[in-house]
Amino acid sequence: MKTHSPGLVSRRQALRILGLAGGASLAAPAFLRAADAVGASAKPAAPSLAGEQAGYYRFKIGAFEAAALFDGGFTPPPDQSPFGVDEKAGSVAASLDAALLPTDRVQLPFNVLLVRAGSELVLIDAGAGGAMGPAGGKMSAALATLGVKPEQITGVILTHAHGDHCGGLVDAEKRAVFPNARLFVGRKEHDFWMASSPDLSGMAVPPEAREGFVLTAQTAIGAYKGRVHQVGGGDRILDGFELLETPGHTPGHLAVVIASGADQLLHFADVVHHHAISFAHPGWRFAYDADPALAVDTRRKVLDRAAADRLRLFGTHMPFPSLGRARKAGDAYEFVPEPFMIG
């Protein structure tokens, strides 16, 4: 047998990986025997790679600088996940399996978008903060790594007032995290949550859990009293951001189109929740949708337009860094992730 540079796999080993060499088996890959490995040594273990992920990904939207910020996420078992309410048991796991994903947990990340547009430094949503326990709240570390201080944020556009989007607006003492930011909230969203008793009967969650949704929303929005700007569909704000009414998930849910020169990006927030399940089954009911039928209608409209126009997309719960495009696939859709861009 020939000698090799350390780390390289021999042709024979490669053939075994592919199952083409005589006697090789994928179930028992002989090439993995440590004693035979090229470059194997008896030295102490190398430093661990464990720890936090980097947490941000920088990109451009025309002349605007942007960054996806990783805030965390939760991973419920498929049959306890918010997906596929009303579908038969095992449907969510089957959808994950069809997408070649692990079937024991649904991965539901929280991603926040930061945009620098001229003099404005704008967050679209604020992550979960402490609202989801240890599952969320990592966005502040990602911001710090980027060198951005909370007081430099000039605006926060809140797509809707669920805890994984608005929890990060306040700290543990319920004070505003961003002291100089204006908070832009959909007029309908504001009226809905700030009412004395919002109607959450359309959500497939126990009544006692609904109180938490209301308290979180009222606390987050209330902390910005005096600098809350109520906005609506078609409004253009902060020179480069246009708002789209996308109701259903919540009554005043907003999507945001960010445009600079010929480039644009559509942040669809929670119109779609999972890159495989929701794209393959856009008609499935999602437990946290306030008006499930309207949410499905909005999802299809947004994805139809995104697919037809090849829109560049950002979605809160898409796989980090949350960028991609939508493609029609029969009566459903596919999410096509954007590759890591150089420069």
- Rounded least distance, CB 43 to Zn ion, Å: 46
By beta-carbon proximity to Zn ion, the closer residue of 99 and 287 is 287
Shortest CB 155 distance to Zn ion, Å:
20
Smallest separation (angstroms) from Zn ion to the CB of 118? 28
The 247-286 contact track toward Zn ion, x by CB under 5 A, reads: -----------------------x----------------
DSSP per-residue letters across 144-193 = HHHT--GGG--EEEES---HHHHGGGB-TTS-BS-TT-EEEEEHHHHHHH
Residue from 71, 125, 164, 334 in contact with Zn ion (CB under 5 A): 164
Residue closer to Zn ion (CB basis): 117 or 295: 295
CA dihedral (248, 121, 266, 277) positive or negative: negative
Q: How many residues bind Zn ion (CB under 5 A)?
A: 2
Q: Which part of the chain contacts Zn ion (CB under 5 A), choosing from 157-165, 169-177, 237-245, 278-286?
A: 157-165
Q: Is 289 in the site for Zn ion (CB under 5 A)?
A: no
Nearer to Zn ion, 273 or 281 (CB): 273
Q: Measured between alpha carbons, how far is 2 from 50 in angstroms, rounded to an integer?
A: 36
Q: Tell me if residue 228 falls in helix, strand or coil.
A: strand
**Cα angle: 112, vertex 114, 116; to 5 degrees:** 170
Q: Which is nearer to Zn ion, 73 or 78 (CB)?
A: 73
CB atoms within 10 A of CB 18: 10
Q: Are 16 and 1 a contacting pair, CB within 8 Å?
A: no
Residue pair 62/260 in contact (Cβ under 8 Å)? The answer is yes
* Cβ within 8 Å of residue 68, ≥6 positions away: 56, 57, 59, 111, 112, 113, 114, 314, 320, 321, 322, 323
Least distance in Å: CB of 63 to Zn ion?
Answer: 29
Question: Which 296-335 residues touch Zn ion, going by CB under 5 A?
Answer: none
Q: Bridge-partner residues for 242, per DSSP?
A: 236, 257
* Interface stretch with Zn ion, choices 133-141, 160-168, 239-247, 322-330 (CB under 5 A): 160-168
Quote the least distance from Cβ 268 to Zn ion, whole Å. 11
In the complex, minimum distance from the CB of residue 170 to Zn ion, in angstroms, rounded to a whole number: 17
The nearer residue to Zn ion, 107 or 180, going by C-beta atoms, is: 107
In the complex with Zn ion, the residue whose CB is nearer, 136 or 150, is 136
Helix (H, G, I), strand (E, B) or coil at 132: coil
Picking from 187, 202, 311, 302, the residue whose alpha carbon sits closest to that of residue 255 is 302
For Zn ion, give the closer residue by CB, 117 or 271: 271
Which C-beta is closer to Zn ion: that of 117 or that of 255?
255
Positive or negative: CA dihedral 211, 212, 216, 219: positive
The residue (of 216 and 260) whose beta carbon lies closer to Zn ion is 216
Distance of closest approach, residue 270 Cβ to Zn ion, in angstroms = 4
Site string for Zn ion, 3-42 (x = CB under 5 A): ----------------------------------------
> In whole angstroms, how close is the CB of 125 to Zn ion at the nearest point?
8
Count CB-CB contacts under 10 A for residue 5. Answer: 7
Q: Are strands 323-329 and 332-337 parallel, antiparallel or unpaired?
A: antiparallel
Cβ atoms of 175 and 200 closer than 8 Å = no
CB of 99 to Zn ion, least distance (A): 20
CA distance 259 to 204: 36
Residues forming the site for Zn ion (CB under 5 A): 164, 270
